Amino acid sequence: MKKNSFLATVSNKKTVKILLFVISTFFFQGCLDPEPYHDDKQEQESPDPVAAVVQKVGPSVVNIETNITKGSGVILNKDGYIITNDHVIRGVNSVEVHLLDKRTLKATIVATDPRRDVAVIKVEGDNLQAAELADSKNLNVGDDVIAIGNAQGVENSVTKGIISNLNVDVDTGINIRRCIQTDAPINHGNSGGALVNMKGKVVGINDMGRSDSESMNYAIPINDVKDVADQIIEKGYVSMVYVGVNLVNEKTNDGEGFLIIKDIMPNSPAAKFDLKAGDIIIKVNDVRVPTVSKFREQIKNSGIGSTVSIGIARKGNTGYVSGIIQVTLDELPKGYYSIDWS
């Protein structure tokens, strides 16, 4: 009996050892290779990068409604200045601004720059969230961007794309604008809204999309917009170089473009330096100018106070006579509509 009791004791000890071994194996394996911890709540609350940008910038992008059309705008500062496109508020009688927090504010038009398609309007209101502006000189082709605006009347509509190209010359017929090209769709109503980078900073103001290509859309670099806005806020108008001619685009039978002076502004550089209505303008500083926009580009590049050589053809008794007229450029007087005068 004692022998059997001893064997039972030994057997029980072996069983205990085996159990302890099994338990310790599972315990240490769990410590060394624990199952990953998932915080489902945290994952749900961590926003997508695009959503995070929209949440940051959204309150700074406003919907603009006029008696004619709808568009978008970006709050420039807490004083109530808002930047948008000139074509959004051109020729309108009333302007209302709808904020993301559902407030509606009456706006006044401060001034516009039709050539660069930039306008500044102003509202009176509290707790306005100004957008953070980037330096558009630091943009690179391939950068991710987001377009936010009032596309097709839908509040704070968002599209995403990349910077497709930089410093693209867009000929609008009245001027050449140097734009950012993006494949982020810019639809009707998006004009004046924000093109932002993934840090939530505004890099450009949405301007227009091409009707023949959904992937070719354009925005005005924010540095150019800010230059216009700063002048408007400080002086009430935009300083602009001019000659003082009202030009008409014409074409020869071969399709070659040229310009005819329709009218001369009184007391302008054109009047002082003997340009005349009916003159055909061919070149500026030896560069052909077949369109109004090309002419304005050459004049703009020359700057206020500089002297330019304008090549013309003037009708005489026996036909047209070519010549060069030296014209010293001046600043366009306040109150003249810059689309009409070059």
Catalytic residue among 86, 87, 113, 342: 87
How large is the average pLDDT for residues 95-103?
A: 95
CB 275 within 8 A of CB 260: no
Contacts of 33 (CB under 8 A, 6+ apart): none
Tell me the β-bridge partners of 129. none
CB 252 within 8 A of CB 243: no
87 is catalytic: yes
Three-class secondary structure of residue 190 per DSSP: coil
Half-sphere exposure of 172 (CA within 13 A, CB side): 18
14 confidence band (pLDDT: 50, 70, 90): low
9 confidence band (pLDDT: 50, 70, 90): very low
DSSP state letters, 58-75: GGGEEEEEESS-EEEEEE
117 is catalytic: yes
Residue at 265: amino acid letter: M
155 CB burial (10 A radius; 0-12, 13-18, 19+): middle
Catalytic residue among 136, 164, 191, 342: 191
pLDDT in tens, 249-286: 888 888 888 899 999 999 999 999 999 999 999 999 99
pLDDT of residue 287: 94
CA 308 to chain centre: 32
Catalytic residue among 60, 86, 113, 117: 117
pTM: 0.76
User: Among the listed ranges 17-31, 118-132, 297-311, which one has the minimum average pLDDT value?
Assistant: 17-31
pLDDT at 32 over 60: no
Return the number of other C-beta atoms located less than 10 Å from residue 315's C-beta.
12
| CA separation for the pair 69, 64 (Å, rounded) | 8
Residue listed under structure tokens 């943009």: 139
Residue at 316: amino acid letter: G
Residue at 49: amino acid letter: P
Tell me the β-bridge partners of 321. 314
pLDDT of residue 154: 72
Q: What's the chain's average pLDDT?
A: 86
pLDDT at 230 over 50: yes
* 39 token code pair: 């915080």
